DNA sequence: CAGCGAAGATTAGGACCGTA
DNA sequence: TACGGTCCTAATCTTCGCTG
């Protein structure tokens, strides 16, 4: 008796005929018939009632099938015990850091899908004040990988770019600038400004916009919380520059967005991790993120 | 009830593998 | 390398249910 004969028995049970079972097993009908005949001879029992239109398992056949399924379960268990159930299935731990902004607007789905696809990897998620803080944690070995907005300081870091986002100015819907689609930096300088706190990816973007000219407008407050910044702008306390995906993902009728004329507002975002670190879970995560870069980009651009 | 088609059983022959 | 066993395919036979 061997597993092939029992596999034929199960295939017949599921398919209802020798011919269909043979197709499933990629054999000919006669080969399946041969396997069953040998099994029946060995056991001295009829395992299958040859009836029309469908053949059915005899009580002895059902007993044999139950035994086969128990055996398959045992084999599976044995493979798990020796860690060879699927050599491609990686297990272990992965520490991931991201700003709340990143999780909410860009990476939440990606991280969720990764956890679902790799149940044997324990993902430990840390939220950081900013992407820069995430990168600092990677350098300090407090986390394995961090989602960041570039540029990021750190020679010991390796990076993967996942996409590019634009920045836009936001004003309250009733603001006099709300009748325009775009605005110059000089006009922005005439209004109180709500600025991202140092270290935030978008702070780098606004520094680039304002510090290349005559500096920032009057700063009324700083924050690293995009939702808070949007709230302050809605209250009419000032204008702000935010990543466009934070506006278009959850369109707010109380806010108006303005393209910034003549200024580079694009900013790359992606992953950073320590150079020369060998980790299967990290490799898998980076590959997973790379494969979904277009989906993330779609989120950033929507 | 004969004819037909579908499906299982049987048989001949070949490929492959282990063993002496 | 010859031989025997195993397992397969292809061809053919047999059986059974359906239909006119």
Q: What is the set of domains in chain A, with CATH numbers?
A: 3-81 (1.10.10.10), 92-164+268-301 (3.40.190.10), 167-260 (3.40.190.10)
A16 nearest nt, CA–C1': B7
What is the model's pTM? 0.56
Percent of chain A past pLDDT 90, that is, above it, reads: 8
Considering only CA atoms, name the residue closest to the C1' of nucleotide C11. Answer: A30
User: Measured from the CB, is A34 under 7 Å from any atom of strand B?
Assistant: yes
Chain B bases closer than 7 A to any CB of the protein: 7-12
**Mean pLDDT, chain A, integer:** 81
User: Measured from the CB, is A2 under 7 Å from any atom of strand C?
Assistant: yes
The integer distance in angstroms from the CA atom of A52 to the C1' atom of C16 is 7
Does position A195 have pLDDT exceeding 50, yes or no? yes
pLDDT, tens only, A18-34 = 877 777 777 777 778 87
pLDDT, tens only, A140-156 = 888 889 998 887 777 77
Radius of gyration in angstroms for the set of CA atoms belonging to chain A, rounded to a whole number: 31
The integer distance in angstroms from the CA atom of A70 to the C1' atom of C5 is 30
The integer distance in angstroms from the CA atom of A158 to the C1' atom of C11 is 66
The integer distance in angstroms from the CA atom of A147 to the C1' atom of C4 is 66
């Amino acid at each position: 008796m061997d597993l092939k004969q029992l596999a034929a028995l199960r295939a017949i049970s599921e398919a209802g005929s020798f011919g269909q079972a043979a197709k499933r097993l990629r054999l000919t009908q006669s080969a399946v018939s041969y396997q069953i005949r040998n099994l029946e001879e060995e056991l001295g029992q009829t395992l299958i009632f040859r009836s029309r239109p469908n053949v059915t398992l005899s009580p002895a056949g059902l007993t044999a099938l139950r035994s086969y399924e128990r055996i398959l379960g045992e084999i599976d268990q044995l493979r798990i015990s020796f860690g060879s159930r699927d050599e491609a299935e990686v297990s272990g731990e992965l520490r991931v850091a991201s700003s709340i902004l990143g999780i909410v607007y860009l990476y939440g789905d990606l991280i969720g899908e990764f956890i679902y696809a790799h149940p044997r990897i324990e993902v430990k998620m840390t939220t950081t004040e900013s992407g820069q803080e995430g990168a600092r944690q990677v350098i300090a070995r407090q986390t394995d990988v961090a989602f960041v907005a570039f540029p990021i300081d750190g020679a010991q870091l390796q990076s993967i770019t996942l996409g590019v986002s634009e920045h836009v100015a936001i004003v309250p819907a009733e603001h006099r600038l709300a009748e325009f689609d775009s605005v110059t930096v000089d006009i922005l300088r005439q209004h109180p400004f709500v600025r991202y706190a140092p270290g935030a990816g978008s702070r780098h973007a606004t520094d680039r916009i304002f510090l290349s000219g005559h500096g920032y407008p009057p700063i009324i407050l700083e924050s690293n919380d995009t939702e808070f910044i949007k709230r302050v702008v809605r209250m009419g306390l000032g204008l702000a520059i935010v990543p466009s995906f934070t506006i278009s993902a959850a369109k707010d009728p109380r806010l108006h967005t303005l393209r910034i004329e003549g200024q580079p507002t694009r900013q790359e975002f992606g992953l950073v991790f320590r150079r020369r670190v060998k980790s299967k879970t990290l490799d898998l995560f980076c590959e997973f993120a790379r494969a979904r870069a277009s989906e993330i980009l779609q989120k950033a651009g929507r």
